[in-house]
Amino acid sequence: MNPQPFATPDAAFPAAPGIAMICDEQHRSDVRKTKQGAIAMRSIDRRKYLFRRALLHRRGRNERKHGGRKLLSAATLLVATGINLAAAHGQGDQTGLPPAASTSPSATVPASQTADCTPPVDPYKNYACLDAYLGQDVLTRFFNYYRLEWGEPGPPADPNAPPSRRDGWPATPETTPPMPYTEFPYGAVTSIGVTRPNSVDSPLMAAIANTNFGKFLAENDFQIYGWLQPGFNLSTNTRQFGNAPIAYTVNPNVAQLDQAVLYLDRFPDTVQTDHIDWGMRLSVLYGQNYRYTNSYGLASWQFNGDNGWMGYDFPMVYGELWIPQVAQGLMIRVGRYISIPDIEAQLAPNNILYTHSITYSWDNYTNTGIATSWQLTPNWLVQLGLVDGTETPLWHYGLKIPNQYVQQTSNAAGFGPGVDPLYPNSTMLKDPGNQPSGVFCVRYESSSGNDVVYPCLDGINNGDWGYNNLQWHGFTYYHKFDDNWHVDFETYYMSESGVPNLRNSAALSLFENGGTPFSPQHVKFNPPNLAYCANATVLKCDADSVGVVTYVNYTLDPLNNFTLRPEYYYDPQGWRTGTGGYTQYMEFTLGWQHWLSPQIEFRPELSYWRSFHTPAYNADAYAGIPANRFETVQFASDVIVHF
């Protein structure tokens, strides 16, 4: 990824509880249009579930990269009607959701409630009183919704909501809170079999539900929501940008606005199988983290022209078509989306920890093109895609720029006037990495939901040195041990070919004098890195890297999770992390995710980072000051406030 970053994931969201009031006399067919979602029960031993985890709801994953990288704080609970307490205590189907629906332990109310809302009003006991609790004007409803959920692991359950999970589907392994996902992450698709429209738990949507605009959005299955994410770090490094190659918290000892994000979403209904549906996402991001979603050629003057500390981007702009008649369902996504298949993603609510691993920070971020997801069985998914490379817009395809070294007949490299062995013509492609590129993934999920294996190839083409033409080969694996412990694992091998050689003076002269597409005459700031090739006599070489990262998670209760992240990273040419030498890394991060409610999360953490062979820390690359430290200790924290 560029030295730069709810989601996505663009992952999808199991149905969440309603915002609009659903009255007794409303017909079931109207419920889907007026509710804001449903509650989904986890398919675990219900005796444990009823006492330990009341609510399932999901924040969008980003697509996560993930996923359906692939954010959000979307709350999800599936209320069942007709299941009595005895069934909840273990007499129901133990391998998945019950055939119809199940009872939410936090909202044990009849399917139809009367609107007897005599104070004190409690929508968790009587969902029909939600509007009475929230009030009438927008501002009052907005703040009352935060007050309603304070200290709760989820929103109140809508007893009239339809099931948010398809019968016979793998069980849901996790809950949100305290995890950023309920389904183990996968990208480039709205989660199949578990997504209902209007399923994000949003104070903003609750606030405007009674307005004409809010009603229009709900009736057409649109939602507007987002979050604010400020954060800070305290580091042993002292120079500006001195935490690099640690990303996101790249500037030591500062507070910053990481992200202010707004989504406009429409989710296709992937639970139903009787009609074609469609979806879309338009996302706008402002903050320091725009540096990590930058696509060369899409408002990239901020990052590549001005090196702005703060900026904006549109990390996800796509449409989806859901065709349930193909096998267990086919999803077609067209547009810009978060690259697959990482554990992490750029968008804050999709991540377990505040900081990111080096493994994630330096791989693919976004792709633009078409991705198809074929759900062959409830357990097997195949993804095929065609994109234009990585971090590059469609309009750069075939675009050429002047080769200034050739046109100005420079001889700085000593090969003769105007002779450029790297790019010999008078013009060259603006981004050689912008070319038709393949995406291929296979995902297997066990019926218990406790295991997911997800191997992928992403952005595969001839691998020519491009803005971020990364050839990604790897996989993620997830395993849930029990209700408290689960582990997320990722590893990849990444490569690029024909990268100019930092150790060769002639190659450096060609680069510095306009003889490559990413010379400073064309890309003033933040070009792709050069490589520390093993042979100093060659002008260019192939470069590669290997990342291995694990998240070990312990869930204490529905509002608290603890995570240990060990990591190893191998960058033999200094190509990804920009050290200019053979470098390996080790990292350990210990973090705590504490939720005050489904809308507010704090993520303090302490991390230790170590480079080997080459000092990697406390550099200021923009001032030409090299790194002088092998170690970094950092304390960092953020807060995510959803709206």
Q: What is the 3-state secondary structure (H, E, C) of 17-48?
A: CCCCCCCCCCCHHHHHHHCCCCCCCCCCCHHH
Mean pLDDT of 302-319: 98
What percentage of the chain carries pLDDT values higher than 90? 81
- What pLDDT sits at residue 98? 27
- What pLDDT sits at residue 26? 29
**Residue 481 token pair:** 């041990």
Res. 160: pLDDT tops 60: yes
**Residue 536 token pair:** 């100093």
Res. 23: pLDDT tops 80: no
- What pLDDT sits at residue 505? 98
- Do residues 242 and 249 make contact, with C-beta atoms less than 8 angstroms apart? no
pLDDT digits (tens, 9 = 90+) for 37-46: 333 333 323 2
Side-chain-facing half-sphere of 603: CA atoms under 13 Å? 27
**Residue 328 vs residue 119, higher pLDDT:** 328
- Number of domains within the chain: 1
Q: 234 pLDDT band (50/70/90 cuts)?
A: very high
Q: Whole-angstrom Cα distance, residue 216 to residue 158?
A: 20
The dihedral formed by the CA atoms of 498, 503, 504 and 509, expressed in degrees to the nearest 10: 90
Res. 59: pLDDT tops 80: no
**Short-list 430, 412, 399, CA closest to 522:** 430
Q: 409 pLDDT band (50/70/90 cuts)?
A: very high
Res. 285: pLDDT tops 90: yes
Q: Whole-angstrom Cα distance, residue 464 to residue 264?
A: 36
Rounded to 5°, the CA angle 571-549-76 comes to: 140
The dihedral formed by the CA atoms of 530, 532, 536 and 541, expressed in degrees to the nearest 10: -60
Q: Which of 5-9, 192-196, 511-515 has the lowest mean pLDDT?
A: 5-9
| Beta-bridge mates of residue 532 | none
**3-state SS assignment for residue 9:** strand
Counting every residue, how long is the chain? 643
Query: Within a domain: residue 286?
Result: yes
Res. 572: pLDDT tops 80: yes
String of DSSP letters for 391-404: S--GGGTT-EEE-H
Q: Whole-angstrom Cα distance, residue 157 to residue 589?
A: 36
Alpha helices in 279-383, H assignment, sequence order: 358-361
Alpha helices in 370-471, H assignment, sequence order: 404-407
Distances (CA, A) of 561 to 14, 48, 177, 558: 21, 18, 9, 8
Q: 24 pLDDT band (50/70/90 cuts)?
A: very low
Looking at every residue in the chain, the average pLDDT score rounds to 86
Res. 562: pLDDT tops 90: yes
- What pLDDT sits at residue 116? 84
Say which residues have a Cβ less than 8 Å from residue 505's Cβ, sequence separation at least 6.
none
Q: Whole-angstrom Cα distance, residue 631 to residue 29?
A: 60
**Residue 135 token pair:** 């009030």
Q: Whole-angstrom Cα distance, residue 453 to residue 442?
A: 8
Query: Within a domain: residue 160?
Result: yes
Q: 379 pLDDT band (50/70/90 cuts)?
A: very high
Mean pLDDT of 220-249: 98
Mean pLDDT of 16-23: 32
Q: Whole-angstrom Cα distance, residue 536 to residue 539?
A: 8
Query: Within a domain: residue 416?
Result: yes
Residue with tokens 């509710």: 35
Query: Within a domain: residue 573?
Result: yes
Mean pLDDT of 197-226: 97
Q: Whole-angstrom Cα distance, residue 15 to residue 58?
A: 8
- Do residues 83 and 212 make contact, with C-beta atoms less than 8 angstroms apart? no
Query: Within a domain: residue 158?
Result: yes
Distances (CA, A) of 484 to 199, 280, 385: 26, 35, 36
**Residue 188 token pair:** 């480039």
Q: E strands within 376-506?
A: 380-387, 400-402, 427-429, 437-445, 451-460, 471-480, 485-500
Q: Whole-angstrom Cα distance, residue 599 to residue 597?
A: 5
pLDDT digits (tens, 9 = 90+) for 68-90: 333 333 333 322 323 232 223 23
Q: Whole-angstrom Cα distance, residue 324 to residue 319?
A: 16
**Short-list 636, 628, 2, 579, CA closest to 307:** 2
Side-chain-facing half-sphere of 512: CA atoms under 13 Å? 11
Q: Which of 20-34, 344-358, 482-496, 557-571 has the lowest mean pLDDT?
A: 20-34
**Residue 551 vs residue 77, higher pLDDT:** 551
Residue 350 DSSP one-character state: G
CATH number, position 614: 2.40.160.10
Q: Whole-angstrom Cα distance, residue 470 to residue 295?
A: 13
- Do residues 317 and 338 make contact, with C-beta atoms less than 8 angstroms apart? no
Residue with tokens 């547009």: 335
Please state the φ and ψ torsions of residue 530, each to the nearest 5 degrees: -90, 175
pLDDT digits (tens, 9 = 90+) for 246-270: 999 999 999 999 999 999 999 999 9
Residue 288 DSSP one-character state: G
Residue 295 DSSP one-character state: B
Res. 47: pLDDT tops 90: no
- What pLDDT sits at residue 134? 97
Q: Whole-angstrom Cα distance, residue 448 to residue 92?
A: 15
For residue 332, the enclosing domain spans 28-642
- What pLDDT sits at residue 77? 30
Query: Within a domain: residue 20?
Result: no
- What pLDDT sits at residue 113? 59
- What pLDDT sits at residue 222? 98
- What pLDDT sits at residue 74? 33
Res. 112: pLDDT tops 60: no
| Beta-bridge mates of residue 66 | 64
Res. 615: pLDDT tops 50: yes
Residue 137 DSSP one-character state: S
Q: Whole-angstrom Cα distance, residue 200 to residue 66?
A: 18
| Beta-bridge mates of residue 583 | 571
- What pLDDT sits at residue 533? 98
Query: Within a domain: residue 12?
Result: no
Q: Cβ of 623: how many Cβ atoms within 10 Å? A: 9
Mean pLDDT of 312-323: 98
- What pLDDT sits at residue 114? 63
Res. 12: pLDDT tops 60: no
Residue with tokens 């930092």: 502
Q: pTM of the entire structure?
A: 0.84
Q: Whole-angstrom Cα distance, residue 569 to residue 583?
A: 9
Distances (CA, A) of 620 to 25, 195, 249, 469, 518: 66, 45, 14, 25, 20
Q: 111 pLDDT band (50/70/90 cuts)?
A: very low
Say which residues have a Cβ less than 8 Å from residue 374's Cβ, sequence separation at least 6.
326, 327, 330, 381, 382, 383, 384
Distances (CA, A) of 408 to 93, 418, 422: 76, 7, 16
Res. 290: pLDDT tops 50: yes
Res. 593: pLDDT tops 50: yes
